[in-house]
């Protein structure tokens, strides 16, 4: 029985569906702080849940005999800078109370997303290794680094089977752009199909590690299906796929929609992006549990331009 927190978010929207497809919708409890998300989860169970309410989380897990928790609820990098103490509290306290709960209630396994945001400006910009120096400069990155340390601690000290991935920027067409610094790469497709000029909040040459959502889902399911003894890294695995700049994703779209235009208006998110690596080394994930990505930039652009137009009505139901 699976519990997903923050199910209404960018990753949760697609991961919850994938988990229902894999384990049966009757075995999946989607939860979100926003009760309006209920209409996105008619295919499985839905509960409104504040992950900071430890008692409510415990009750749901016990009452429904939950065995796996995908704890996705979090404040992302850009939003976090506008509300630092709340971002720290939500990202950190909710994870800690879940790990503490996992000590007493026997949970089969927990998934918790980390991010390449754990690396700061002084990490190597390319081929950033699993163990490169981590001095994150955003509240989000600080909370994800601290969270990784706690995951490894609870695994070592209390045998909690918690697993984690350092996602790059995730791009998908099934959710609207959110509070992430990489969400320009989601918004650009919406503007392109509406033939609107795209105002990009990053400079044209800002290279970032990115991944198409189907690859992120595949990695998550594969990590969680692997035998525990294969999961050697219990902080969080580097995970990589593609790496592109705003100019490159714009050109990949323009090849299909010649009239599409862009202008660059860098804002506070430029500095966040410049503090992150440009492409990271995920050899540990490839070695330990056979990771490899499927989609490159052109595959992603073709798939999104083909599917986003007919998906739009569902998206605006979410707003």
Q: CA 38, 44, 47: angle at the middle one, nearest 5?
A: 45
Instruction: Give the separation between CA 280 and CA 293, rounded to whole angstroms.
Output: 13
Q: How far is the C-alpha of 89 from the C-alpha of 95, rounded, in Å?
A: 10
Tokens matching residue 315: 């998206």
Binding window for ligand VAH (CB under 6 A); candidates: 64-72, 115-123, 228-236, 279-287: 115-123
Catalytic residue check, 140: yes
Q: Which lies closer to ligand VAH via its Cβ, residue 27 or residue 236?
A: 236
Q: Return the H-helix or E-strand segment holding 243.
A: strand 242-244
Output the smallest distance, CB 280 to ligand VAH, in A: 10
Q: Which C-beta is closer to ligand VAH: that of 12 or that of 180?
A: 180
Question: Residue 92 or 101: which CB sits closer to ligand VAH?
Answer: 92
Determine which one of 43, 70, 140, 295 is catalytic.
Answer: 140
By CB under 6 A, the residues from 76 to 105 that bind ligand VAH are 76-77
The end-to-end CA distance of the chain, in Å, is 29
CB of 189 to ligand VAH, least distance (A): 15
Whether the CB-CB separation of 7 and 37 falls below 8 Å is answered with yes
Contacts (Cβ under 8 Å, ≥6 apart) of 132: 119, 123, 124, 277
**Window 163 to 202, contacts with ligand VAH (CB under 6 A):** 168-170, 180-182
Distance from C-alpha of 173 to C-alpha of 226, rounded to nearest angstrom: 28
One character per residue 120-159, x = contact with ligand VAH (rule: CB under 6 A): --------------------x-------------------
Closer by beta carbon to ligand VAH, 177 or else 199: 177
Asked whether position 277 contacts ligand VAH by CB under 6 A, the answer is no
d(C-alpha 18, C-alpha 109), whole Å: 17
Residues forming the site for ligand VAH (CB under 6 A): 76-77, 115-117, 140, 168-170, 180-182
Catalytically annotated residues: 140
């Amino acid at each position: 029985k699976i519990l997903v927190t923050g199910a209404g978010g960018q990753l949760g929207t697609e991961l919850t569906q994938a988990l229902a497809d894999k384990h049966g919708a009757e075995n999946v409890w989607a939860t979100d702080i926003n009760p309006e998300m209920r209409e996105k989860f008619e295919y499985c169970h839905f509960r409104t849940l504040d992950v900071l309410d430890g008692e409510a989380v415990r009750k749901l897990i016990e009452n429904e005999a939950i065995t796996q928790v995908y704890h996705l609820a979090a404040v992302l990098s850009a939003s976090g800078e506008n509300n630092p103490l709340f971002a720290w509290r939500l990202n950190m306290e909710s994870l800690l109370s879940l790990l503490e709960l996992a000590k007493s209630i026997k949970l089969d396994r927990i998934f918790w997303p980390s991010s390449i945001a754990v690396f700061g400006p002084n990490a190597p910009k390319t081929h950033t290794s699993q163990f490169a120096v981590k001095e994150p400069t955003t509240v989000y990155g600080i909370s994800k680094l601290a969270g990784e340390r706690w995951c490894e601690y609870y695994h070592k000290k209390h045998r909690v089977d918690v697993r984690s991935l350092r996602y790059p920027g995730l791009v998908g067409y099934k959710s609207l752009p959110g509070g992430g610094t990489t969400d320009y790469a989601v918004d650009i497709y919406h503007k392109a199909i509406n033939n609107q000029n795209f105002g990009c909040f990053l400079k044209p040459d800002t290279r970032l590690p990115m991944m198409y959502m189907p690859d992120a889902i595949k990695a998550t399911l594969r990590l969680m299906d692997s035998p525990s003894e294969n999961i050697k890294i219990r902080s969080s695995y580097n995970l990589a796929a593609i790496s592109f700049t705003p100019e490159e994703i714009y050109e990949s779209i323009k090849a299909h929609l010649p009239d599409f235009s862009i202008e660059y208006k860098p804002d506070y998110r430029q500095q966040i992006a410049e503090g992150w690596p440009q492409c990271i080394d995920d050899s540990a994930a490839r070695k330990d549990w056979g990771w490899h990505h499927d989609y490159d930039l052109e595959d992603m652009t073709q798939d999104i331009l083909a599917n986003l137009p007919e998906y739009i009505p569902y998206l605006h139901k979410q707003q």
